[in-house]
């Protein structure tokens, strides 16, 4: 991150911190203002008055216990007359008095229990109000100490950050000096390696040239040429005077050296081709077109699959034959024309079709469809030109390459040649370290920067999908 961007980020963070402090202080002030005092609670109710209740219990019955005596005397008749006049009223009053006294006696306990309950409730509310008031005071004190605590920590962290920044600046300055020194050493070492690679390539070509000349001289001496004898390089004969044949390509060893330098060692190629072997299990008479140094033929032989190969390069053929492989030197289309229909269990060609002109390739595919028996298959591996890294690093580096074949194109050509089931298998993915790397999106970035980073990463993915995908692919066609 540049110094300008860093300064902007620090300024924005400082403003956000100041705004957060302001909001905190405002909230604390509002809370302090709303601090409630301890409320004034009502007094408990007075006790239930039972002072007159004993007297009421004794005086409620206003009538005598016994009714007045009734007789036939004048007094008795007068008493009976008076009782008939006032007796019913007195009886009603006595019944009222009895009901009232009974009601008062029954509600004494209820009134006393209610008073005790109210008194206990008021006491509990007073205790809770006192505790709440004390809690509010302690809460305000705690919130007031947070600001001082954070300010103290900030000053400590700021001091430590300044010290750490000074230390990092010193380390960074020392690291940059060491980096410059390492970069200079790396440049010198790279130049030395480049010179060493050139020397190795020259030595390999010289060794291959010497071996080629040695083999041709041995054949010449073995043929015993006399006056007028015709010597054909690359053709071993037991006759003193062999028949004239076309001379072998004396520059074939150069492409063999090219294969060693750029396509990879034999072990590396064997490792890449080993995954194709299971496709040919149970097949016989498999033809490897452009068999090269015979790595795939050797794999088939180790797995008990009868196979033979053909290649135009004389040196490639010699290397394969030296390993005991059945290899013919010649043109693939011409060879296929001599075979009977449905005679091959399969055809394999690795890194071959890109060397063929389109008219030749289309005739080769159609002829292959006739020569492969039902149930057989054709596997064609080639460079994936849809991967720009493969196109610019591999395809255009080889001067013998003629035409790049897009996966869709080769699949279509196989289908129009008569193959019904054609699939594409992509291989040799570009290493993750060689792909374009996205920018990490930090949470500290603002929304606009995050959107910018997201758009940039989307474009990185699109470029990776074009530039750095799979370097090779195989078209697998079944008859």
Do the beta carbons of residue 201 and residue 258 sit within 8 Å? Answer: no
- CA 368 – CA 355 distance, rounded (Å): 17
Q: Do 36 and 133 contact (CB within 8 A), yes or no?
A: yes
Residue carrying the six token digits 């900030």 = 154
Q: Which domains can be identified in the chain, with CATH numbers?
A: 27-172 (no CATH), 264-478 (3.40.50.150)
Residue whose pair of structure tokens reads 């068999």 in the numeric block: 291
Q: What is residue 326's predicted lDDT score, i.e. its pLDDT?
A: 95
pLDDT of residue 307: 97
pLDDT of residue 248: 45
User: Of 379, 393, 477, 476, nearest to 434 (Cα)?
Assistant: 393
For 425-440, b where at least 16 C-beta lie within 10 A, e where not — what string? beebebeeeebeeeee
- Confidence at residue 331, expressed as pLDDT on a 0 to 100 scale: 94
Helix count and strand count (H, E) for the chain: 12, 7
Query: What are the structure tokens assigned to 164, written together?
Result: 């750490």
DSSP structural state of residue 192:
H
Distance CA 28, CA 51 (A): 58
CA dihedral of 45, 46, 47, 53, whole degrees rounded to 10: -120
476 Cβ contact partners less than 8 Å away, ≥ 6 residues apart: 279, 377, 378, 379, 422, 423, 424, 425
d(CA 289, CA 330): 10
Residue found under tokens 């000349």 = 213
Chain position carrying tokens 């799979």: 470
Q: Is 310 helix (H, G, I), strand (E, B) or coil?
A: strand
**Residue 397, pLDDT score:** 84
pLDDT tens for the chain, residues 1 to 479: 566 777 777 788 888 888 888 888 888 888 878 777 777 878 888 777 777 778 788 777 777 665 566 677 887 778 778 777 877 888 888 788 888 888 888 888 788 888 888 888 888 888 888 888 888 888 887 887 777 767 676 665 666 666 666 667 777 677 777 777 777 777 777 777 766 766 666 665 665 666 666 666 766 777 655 444 444 444 443 333 333 333 445 455 555 555 555 566 778 888 899 999 999 999 999 999 999 889 999 999 999 999 999 999 888 899 899 999 999 999 999 999 999 999 999 999 999 999 999 999 999 999 999 999 999 999 999 999 999 888 888 888 888 899 999 999 999 999 999 998 999 999 999 988 888 888 887 766 677 777 788 888 888 888 888 888 999 999 999 99
Supply the angle between the helices 295-302 and 266-273 in degrees, to the nearest 10.
60
What distance in Å separates the CA atoms of residue 256 and residue 272, rounded to the nearest whole number? Answer: 19
């Amino acid at each position: 991150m540049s110094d300008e961007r860093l300064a902007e980020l620090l300024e924005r963070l400082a403003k956000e911190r100041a705004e957060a402090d302001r909001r905190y202080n405002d909230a604390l002030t509002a809370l302090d203002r709303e601090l409630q005092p301890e409320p004034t609670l009502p007094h408990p109710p007075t006790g239930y008055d039972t002072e007159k209740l004993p007297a009421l219990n004794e005086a409620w019955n206003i009538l005598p216990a016994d009714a007045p005596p009734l007789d036939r005397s004048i007094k008795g008749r007068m008493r009976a007359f008076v009782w008939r006049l006032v007796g019913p009223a007195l009886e009603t009053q006595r019944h009222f008095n009895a009901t009232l006294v009974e009601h008062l006696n029954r509600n004494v306990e209820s009134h006393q229990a209610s008073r005790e309950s109210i008194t206990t409730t008021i006491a509990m509310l007073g205790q809770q109000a006192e505790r709440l008031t004390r809690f509010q005071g302690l809460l305000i004190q705690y919130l007031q100490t947070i600001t001082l605590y954070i300010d103290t920590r900030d000053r400590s962290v700021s001091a430590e950050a300044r010290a750490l920044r000074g230390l990092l600046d010193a380390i960074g300055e020392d690291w940059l000096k060491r980096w410059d020194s390492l970069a200079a050493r790396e440049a010198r070492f790279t130049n030395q390696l480049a010179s060493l690679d050139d020397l190795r390539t020259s030595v390999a070509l010289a060794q291959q040239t010497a071996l080629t000349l040695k083999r041709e001289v041995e054949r010449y001496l073995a043929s015993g040429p006399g006056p007028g004898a015709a010597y054909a390089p690359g053709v071993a004969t037991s006759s003193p005077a062999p028949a004239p044949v076309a001379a072998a390509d004396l520059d074939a060893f150069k492409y063999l050296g090219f294969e060693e330098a750029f396509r990879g060692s034999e072990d590396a190629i064997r490792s890449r081709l080993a995954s194709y072997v299971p496709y040919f299990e149970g097949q016989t008479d498999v033809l490897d077109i452009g068999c090269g140094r015979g790595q795939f033929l050797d794999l088939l032989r180790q797995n008990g699959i009868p196979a033979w190969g053909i290649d135009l390069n004389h040196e490639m053929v010699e290397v394969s034959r030296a390993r005991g492989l059945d290899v013919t030197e010649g043109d693939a289309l011409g060879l296929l024309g001599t075979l009977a229909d449905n005679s091959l269990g399969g055809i394999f060609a690795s890194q071959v079709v890109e060397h063929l002109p389109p008219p030749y390739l289309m005739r080769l595919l159609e002829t292959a469809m006739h020569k492969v028996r039902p149930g057989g298959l054709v596997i064609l591996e080639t460079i994936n030109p849809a991967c720009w890294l493969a196109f610019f690093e591999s395809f255009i580096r080889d001067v013998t390459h003629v035409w790049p074949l897009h996966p869709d194109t080769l699949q279509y050509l196989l289908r129009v040649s008569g193959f019904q089931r054609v699939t594409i298998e992509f291989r040799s993915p570009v290493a993750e370290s060689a792909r374009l790397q996205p920018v990490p999106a930090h949470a500290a970035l603002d929304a606009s920067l995050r959107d910018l980073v997201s758009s940039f990463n989307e474009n990185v993915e699109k470029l990776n999908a074009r530039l750095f995908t799979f370097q090779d692919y195989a078209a697998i066609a079944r008859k």
